[in-house]
């Protein structure tokens, strides 16, 4: 399972899509798909929406806007993947017209075996849960080997490296330590699910050349979160 940041896929000035960046991601994923690796993808919605733009917007409604942002992102990125020669399907936990299919574990496993890359949009379908929780939930349901987190930072640190020049980067760290020290690899709900269901994580820099391709071969140029 691969988690992509919506913000990391946006244009340098923010918003929209950096098509060349997304094509590069697609080409890297295709290397593994061509070798028979089953790949599921979750994309955040940060290039369109983060939190509430106004205190007058209800939290539930704000989260629903975020869910729809991830649907738009999955449709766009899915089309780029198709242009690069892959078969794709998009699943969501709620009805979205003919744009997505309702999530079904059985249907997903059939498509995985047929070589499809599957996109999981809409998070969990409920407010108060992030796309972090969404990808861990889908990873557990579909018996994923690992969740790969492609971020705008090259791993997990003991403090914010943007604020602390002496921040220490971990090569490996346990999910228990992530929770205890609040290292914010994923949110607390997602961290607890990883701990309970023994789902390992790997964190690496999306912008590093070939990072996704390497990660899918087990070569993590970042931090491995053990369980």
Do residues 157 and 168 lie in contact, with contact meaning Cβ atoms separated by under 8 Å?
Answer: yes
pLDDT at 53: 65
Helix, strand, or coil (residue 50)? coil
pLDDT (tens, 9 = 90+) of the chain, 227 residues, equals 999 988 888 888 777 899 999 999 999 999 999 999 999 999 999 888 877 667 789 999 999 999 999 999 999 999 999 999 999 999 999 999 999 999 999 999 999 999 999 999 999 999 999 999 999 999 999 999 999 999 888 899 999 888 998 999 999 999 999 999 999 899 999 999 999 999 999 999 988 899 999 999 999 999 999 99
Name, in order, each residue with C-beta under 8 angstroms of 137's C-beta and a sequence gap of 6 or more. Answer: 124, 193
pTM of the model: 0.93
DSSP state of 117: E
């Amino acid at each position: 399972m691969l988690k992509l940041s919506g913000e990391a896929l946006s244009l340098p000035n923010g918003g929209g899509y950096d098509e060349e960046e997304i094509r590069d991601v697609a080409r890297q994923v295709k290397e593994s798909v061509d070798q028979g690796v089953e790949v599921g993808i979750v994309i955040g919605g940060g290039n369109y929406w983060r939190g509430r733009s106004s205190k007058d917007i209800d939290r539930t409604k704000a989260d629903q806007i975020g869910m729809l942002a991830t649907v738009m992102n999955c449709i766009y990125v899915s089309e780029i993947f198709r242009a690069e020669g892959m078969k794709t399907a998009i699943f969501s936990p709620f009805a979205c017209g003919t744009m997505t299919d309702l999530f079904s574990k059985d249907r997903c496993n059939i498509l995985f075996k047929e070589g499809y890359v599957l996109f999981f949009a809409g998070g969990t379908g409920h407010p108060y849960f992030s796309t972090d929780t969404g990808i861990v939930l889908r990873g557990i349901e579909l018996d994923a080997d690992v969740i790969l987190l492609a971020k705008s930072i090259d791993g997990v640190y003991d403090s914010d490296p943007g604020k602390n020049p002496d921040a220490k980067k971990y090569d490996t760290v346990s999910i228990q330590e992530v929770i205890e020290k609040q290292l914010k690899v994923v949110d607390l709900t997602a961290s607890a699910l990883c701990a309970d269901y023994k789902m390992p994580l790997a964190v690496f820099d999306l912008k590093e050349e070939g990072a996704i391709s390497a990660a899918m071969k087990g070569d993590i140029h970042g931090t491995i979160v053990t369980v």
